[in-house]
Amino acid sequence: MATSRSIVTKTLLGLFVLGLLSVLFMRTLRDTNAAPYLMRPEHVTGWQVTLAPAPGPDGPLLLLAPPHELPLELFQQVFDRTMESMSAPPVYGVTLLLRGEYQRILAPRVTPDELEALAHEAGLADAVVEPRCLAVRAGLTAAEPRSTYFVVFGLPALRTFRERVAQLLAERGGDAAAFDPAALAPALYLGATDGGPRAWPVADGTVEERCAAPLEVSGSS
């Protein structure tokens, strides 16, 4: 009888220890995933306005491209934490204008070269980006990647540029109401699981609601 009680006691104690270890592991994992992602101080500047090669009809026409090392370093940080296999986009950058927006609304009244010049005038080439967070968009259907990762920045010049695009469109007789200056958020598409999305993932005003961890400049705290 005493032996049976000892076995039961040891079993219950073992289950308790396993449960405690599981809770501690999940807490550590959660804390690790919520820890800040880091970018180097020199990467808040040096971004370049560029006309993007066409990754598809729904991709970007105009980008603010980051310093080459930044997305690679952030991509590696995400992989080190999640251990998820991700596909990188064909081009990195904050989308300033979508190719579909241009084709549906702006062409032929405004040329791509004029839009690039307008982005420079709005101060985007000289902008200092403000790191905000790493955001994760979860797929809602089987056709979408399980996880799509964005890096969100503060970038007021993006809204300034898009408002000037709407103004220029109106001056040239276009339908300015069809162009939404607030349609895009200042976010860099970093990568996605499951081979990546079929269509270019658009970061709209809700992307910051999906922040999973802060993004900070290394050595700033």
- Tell me, yes or no, whether 63 and 152 share the same domain: yes
Helices (H) and strands (E) in the chain — how many of each? 5, 9
Would you say residue 4 has pLDDT above 50? yes
15 and 112: one domain? Answer: no
Q: What is the DSSP letter of 144?
A: S
Asked if residue 150 lies in contact with residue 137, where contact means CB atoms within 8 angstroms, the answer is: yes
Same domain, yes or no, for 26 and 92? no
Residues 14 and 119 reside in one and the same domain:
no
**Is residue 135 located within the same domain as residue 165?**
yes
pLDDT at position 198, please? 79
6 with 43, same domain?
A: no
Residue 105 is part of which domain span?
A: 38-217
CA distance 210 to 22: 26
Contact criterion met (CB below 8 Å) for 161 and 148: no
25 plus 49 within the same structural domain: no
Q: 205-210: long-range contacts (C-beta < 8 A, 24 or more apart)?
A: 207/135, 207/137, 207/150, 207/152, 208/132, 208/133, 208/135, 208/152, 210/135, 210/136, 210/137, 210/150
Cα 169 from Cα 145, distance rounded (Å): 36
Q: Is the domain of 64 the same as that of 165?
A: yes
- The three-state secondary structure class of 198 is coil
pLDDT tens digits for 142-165?
888 999 999 999 999 999 999 999
Number of domain units in the chain = 2
Same domain? For 188 and 103 the reply is yes
Alpha helices by DSSP H, listed for 86-220, are 99-101, 112-121, 156-171
Are residues 171 and 63 part of one domain? yes
Mean pLDDT on 119-130: 97
pTM above 0.85, yes or no: no
Same structural domain, 30 and 91: no
Same domain, yes or no, for 110 and 207? yes
Q: What is the reported pLDDT for 27?
A: 40
pLDDT digits (tens, 9 = 90+) for 6-45: 665 655 555 454 444 333 333 433 445 689 999 999 999 9
